[in-house]
Structure 1
Amino acid sequence: MDDGAESISVEKENPVWVQKYIDSPEQQKKLYKRTLLIVVLSQIFGGAGLAAGITVGALLAQDMLGTDSVAGLPMALFTLGSAGAAFLVGRLSQSYGRRPGLATGFLAGGIGALGVIIAAVTSNIFLLFACLFIYGAGTATNLQARYAGTDLAKSTQRATAVSIALVSTTFGAVAGPNLVRVMGNVADSIGVPTLAGPFILAAAAYILAGLVILFFLRPDPFLVAKAIAAAEKTTATISAEPNSREEIEKKRKVKAGITIMVVAQFVMIAIMTMTPVHMGHYGHGLQDVGLVIGFHIGAMFLPSLVTGVLVDKVGRTVMAIASAITLCLAGMLAAFGPAESMFMLHTALILLGIGWNFGLISGTALIVDGTSTDTRAKTQGTSDVLVALSGAAGGAISGIVVSYTSFSTLSIWGAVFSLIIIPVVFWSKRGRKKNE
């Protein structure tokens, strides 16, 4: 009788629209599909937004300051801004749902991009750095959006749900770098510095992504998932004793997932940030840079549909190890391949993107596996803070390393560092049954 009374009281506490999803697996399935559709649409715009900073951020700072030593600073700043935004978006999402969290992050990214344009027009380097920091909110939100697709996914669908969100980013992310020259011409025609042109596209793209989330991500998938989880706990007839072994295994999953993503992000950002500057030293023009970065970003996101299926079917461990090996190979090719060869540059940067993709999806799946709705969004936000900080470190260190040594040295160290993923993965599986 007590269990029944509790169940009835929970029903009364839940709004009708929430109870509809609690009572019907079919409604849950429909909302899961609708959520993926909205996330896909926002990611298309968001992908175009993030591409601007990646492609010309370093070049803009280099042009305004006249030195290579700070070329990695823009990437460091907007990845540092991404860290702060990831923390805030995670906390907002945990308390109020995905919709307010993601919409706020995307809109902030759009405002930051507008500020970068103003900084370029006024030649204000301090404003440039401040707005690049704010612009990083869009990057963080673009990554955080991948979690929205997993809120109502089954355990065997989680990596695939992440991959659907990521692959949709490809459309905007690949188009962005390849519109560098077009947006540069647009900027010239309205009296804006050429290198600020891509940020015009970024501002519009991030603002549109925020509006899509704000108006269409209803009902909120995370709030529904929390209500479903709460109802399942309340109506359970047997109160299961906490299993300390399971808790330890879950914590290991979360730690391993975070480490995989942190290492992949650090290596990818460090090598990618200095590639445009490295190409410039060997006579490659802005169009060549846009093409290489475009292929790189495509490789970051386009394999996602296949990667997600592999992570769900083959396992998180195998794909994490594949991430380490691919990143290592990319670093070695970047270090020892002839810089004059566009083919070699394309190959190295494509492998760099694929390695990052493997690491991000396998790491994300491990974090979702190891958390419950009580703390999931908050933990996801915290993990993305660490990922963003690692990217900031990679961006800042890359310019210094290349300035004092060479791009080859940076790439070799990146290749070696990526192999840390392998022992971490085996540590996370220690004493655990083979279940993934």
Structure 2
Amino acid sequence: QGNVVGFGGRALDETQQPKYLNSPQTPIFDKGALLYGLDQAAPAIRREGRAVLVEGYFDVLAAHQEGFRNVVAPMGTALTAAQVRLLKRMTRRIYLALDADQAGVLAVRRGLEAIREAMDERLVPVPTAQGLVRFERELDGEVRIVVLPAGRDPDEVILADRKEWEAHLAQARPVLDFVLEQIAQGADLETARGKREAVQQALPLLSEVHDPVEQAHYVQRLAHLLRVDERAISAELRRPTPGPRSGARLPAEVDEGTGALAGRPMDREEVVEGYFLALLYRFPDLWEALPAGVDALLSREEHRVLLGMLPAGPSISAGAELRRYLEDLLNRFRPELSPELARRALQDCLQRLEALANERERREYAEVLAQAQEEGNRELAQEVSRQLSILSQRRWEIAMPPPRRLFPDARRYLGDEEAQGES
């Protein structure tokens, strides 16, 4: 509203500390919840549909003096989620034009974390391997990085040449392009270990790109930057990596000291998935009979990790807890079958896994449908209803033999719910 709530100062001598000096924190002056210049910039931000964030007061003053009035700055601090919430009332497009030194690069990364925390998410349809559509959440906004020449601050660029500043804005990079380049620049590309560490840094970012064409583009881009085969990155992206960084968690009921499973009941999804994995680990030749995309049928991350380690099995790097968990699965599920019957049991498992996955998907779609109806999103509600209809039809098409037709070993684990409670 243009009311004075505090004062901020900036050192004129580059050797003077602190660089920024603000009024003390008060109920009306919270530097983590204010943006310098926002009262002057708000009309331009709404009019142009984007906000440009710079680092300091002088950057804002120079921009406004030269007619770039959609520019604001944090109050001498890292960008916060509260400041992003102020901006998202006016625009969903945020450009980060921070200083080109190492501190500026670090500020960009911190700013991205604040934006991710504060911005809303939206549901987007993503095709699945089964020809259906699942809905993922992605950031409801656009973030771009204005890359400035090394050693030059925004105010220096603006005051030296307006057209150069306009060109930098026009060439603002998608955030993932910028971050991948920063990862590559900070990596030791002369060693295999350095390249692998860089890939591991990038995988969480790549996995959040739900559009398959966009994801393939960024995989190719990273492969070029790191000088590695893109197929290696794609393989890592598809397969969870064992160990602490993979995000795989053992069930809460598992004793992390012993990994013991035998003393607790298992739900039917655990039973079917456990028996399925036991079959594959006891009969490694069955691996070749698995259809593509079978990992998507598993409900538990630790099961997907164990499946991803086949046919070789878990290595030392898999982690002691995961190895103990597999050992307990193999002790609990002991398929005593001939190779021919093992193949029949595998098909029974796959049918039940598909049926269970179908049930999970229908529950998830029902939740999305309820949310869409509550929000009055008719287009999304119609699409979700269509997908629910496809899933329901598919459930009736899954040829799953009744428990009485299973041979004894499989009936013990894949039969009715009462039998599945046995160990």
- Asked if TM exceeds 0.5, the reply is no
Which of the two has greater helix per residue? 1
Q: TM-score, normalised by structure 1?
A: 0.22
Q: TM-score, normalised by structure 2?
A: 0.23
Larger radius of gyration: 2
Higher relative contact order (CA 8 A, sep 6+): 1
